[in-house]
Amino acid sequence: MSKQPPGDLFDDCALDPDAILGTQIYEGVLFTEETETPVNVLTGETPEHSKTNVDEARAFAAGIDSDTPQIALQASVEAQIETASKPYTAAAFFHFKATGSLKRHRAYHAAYESEAFAVDFEADYESGDLTITVEEVTGSERDEA
């Protein structure tokens, strides 16, 4: 976490902190067992590289060496075919592909880096839903941290 005042972190954001306060649920953005995978039209089978499960995807995301927690997002069928990749990709928990907006991505990132906010998330790989909660930290809570 950064030691910068909260206003400085939000200078480059199109959204102010109030736009992300509270709890938001982003439905169906995470990799699940039902994530679509390509099928070879000649054989009718799913390619080996696309055969995987949620535990592998979760481990992959957790294994990324980053200061920011990662989640496993769905990869498009087109990307899987073009790159012969798994049906998931890892990204920061506030990535614009999950939140649907680059503006939200930047605001969540600023809040996550700021000591003025507590940012938490829950990745539910059963439903594919991502829940992000942002709360403002009061002065006494900041002093305890």
pLDDT in tens, 67-107: 999 999 999 999 898 888 899 999 999 999 999 999 999 99
List helix spans (H) across the chain.
Answer: 6-9, 54-62, 77-83, 96-99, 102-113, 139-144
**Cβ 108 vs Cβ 134: under 8 Å:** yes
Please give the single-letter amino acid code of residue 115.
E
**Cβ 118 vs Cβ 20: under 8 Å:** no
pLDDT, average across residues 123-130: 96
pLDDT for 1 equals 44
Q: Is the pLDDT of residue 139 over 80?
A: no
Give me the chain's average pLDDT, please: 89
Beta bridge partners of 135: 118
Q: In 3-state terms, what secondary structure has residue 75? A: coil
pLDDT tens-digit series, residues 40-60: 888 988 888 888 999 999 999
Confidence of residue 140 (pLDDT cuts 50, 70, 90): low
